[in-house]
Amino acid sequence: MANFNDKKKERVACGGVWTKTIESTKLQTPKPFYQFSDFPWPDSVTEMCPDQKTVLEYIESYASHFDLVRHIKFNSKVLSLSYEDDSSSSINGTGEWNLCKGKWNVTVQDTPTLSTQAIVFLGRFSQVPNMPEFRPNNGPEGFEGQVIHSMDYSKMDSKSATNFVKGKQVAVVGFQRSGMDIAMECSTVNGVERPCTVLIRTPQWNLPADFSPWGLNLGYLYLSRFSELMVHKPGEGLLLSLLATTLSPLYHFHFTEVGLIKICRKLYIKHKNRLAKYGMVPEHSFLNECSVAVVPEGFYDRVEEGSIKLIKKAECLGFSKEGIVLEGKAETIKSELVILATGFKGIDKLKHIFESTKYQEFIAGSDDSATVPLYR
């Protein structure tokens, strides 16, 4: 994997997305669930969710310990993928993969074509930013300030990012992890004198940083291999099917609307994050949450002090010369810098690498649903 810093100088590095993540970002998963089985975290790392620098050091230490770097070819740009198979079709009539007999041909820039039987896709959350669509004459071209994507912000080191936002009226569009992390950094730099405005389309069931209600680590209930046995999976055999059926009452106790998760949502998440106080209680069920982020520690304290300002149900936005204009709102949100923390188009990145339109359609699908069967 290649990392490009804010000065666009290329360097070789292990770590993937952790090489270009906002420096204040912390691990979303408790570290016992985010470690190599043959390489535990060092005793010096005491935080349950370490920061970006610590995670990157851990990954680099793993690569160094097992001498992996010499087996990795960095800076390799994949141009296309094609599948070579003797059979008539590698996707059967039911839409399932049948890739046991053939091989993938990988075309890499400045490298002879490679052949392999297995390909792992990483980096879905990078390189192809998801940019909002604006009505004609309502986009950022008329805005006198600056508009960037969170991807561009994350390429900056801490000093560059601080200087970039210092003294500016900053608005962040988006309320997933990168949006909250950027808002925290802006509020640290500018304080209550120039509060950071966060525009939120839909409040989410984001978890507090110390999500261990009453001292119980819920990760042991739903982030373990045992929890996977409670769920029926595609292509499972008879034994796994019987186990899932037998354990289904336990699954319903933990994960359904009448189970433990509901209790935690009602009695802990709402209380810990003070959601009702700030009008941030989501209307949808916790179980319908597709992407759950962990709220940075002290985020709602910043909201309380006034260095972060939340604007909910920002459905449709546009720009004027002075800042952001929301549909149905007369007042302009005055801004000098707008950071779009609106995610990435991972499907687009993966889709166009396939030569065959058949595989493009199978990866991307014909609608918003994911056609590749994924489960936990």
pLDDT digits (tens, 9 = 90+) for 233-264: 878 889 988 988 888 776 666 555 555 556 66
Contacts 24+ apart (CB under 8 A), 3-11: 4/155, 5/155, 5/157, 6/155, 6/156, 6/157, 6/160, 10/75
Q: pLDDT tens, 46-99?
A: 998 899 999 999 999 999 999 999 998 888 888 888 888 765 555 555 555 566
Which pLDDT score is estimated for 1?
A: 29
Is the pLDDT at 374 greater than 80, yes or no?
no
Mean pLDDT value across the chain: 80
Q: Which residue has the higher pLDDT, 30 or 101?
A: 30
Is the pLDDT at 181 greater than 60, yes or no?
yes
Q: Where are the domains of the chain?
A: 2-71, 78-125+346-364, 140-204+293-340, 207-279
Which pLDDT score is estimated for 335?
A: 96
Q: Categorize the per-residue pLDDT at 274 as very low, low, confident or very high, splitting at 50, 70 and 90.
A: confident
- CB-based contacts of 112: which residues, under 8 Å, 6+ apart? none
Q: pLDDT tens, 349-367?
A: 777 888 888 888 777 665 4
- Has this prediction a pTM greater than 0.85? no
Which pLDDT score is estimated for 372?
A: 43
Q: Categorize the per-residue pLDDT at 219 as very low, low, confident or very high, splitting at 50, 70 and 90.
A: low
* Sheet strand arrangement including 323-326: 317-319, 323-326, 333-334
Burial (CB count within 10 angstroms: exposed 0-12, middle 13-18, buried 19+), residue 130? middle
CB contact at 8 A, 244 and 230: yes
Overall average pLDDT of the 4-8 stretch: 34
Is the pLDDT at 20 greater than 60, yes or no?
yes
Residue 243 in 3-state DSSP?
helix
Which pLDDT score is estimated for 223?
A: 62
* CATH architecture, range 140-204+293-340: 3-Layer(bba) Sandwich (3.50)
Is the pLDDT at 4 greater than 50, yes or no?
no
Q: Max alpha carbon distance in the chain (Å)?
A: 67
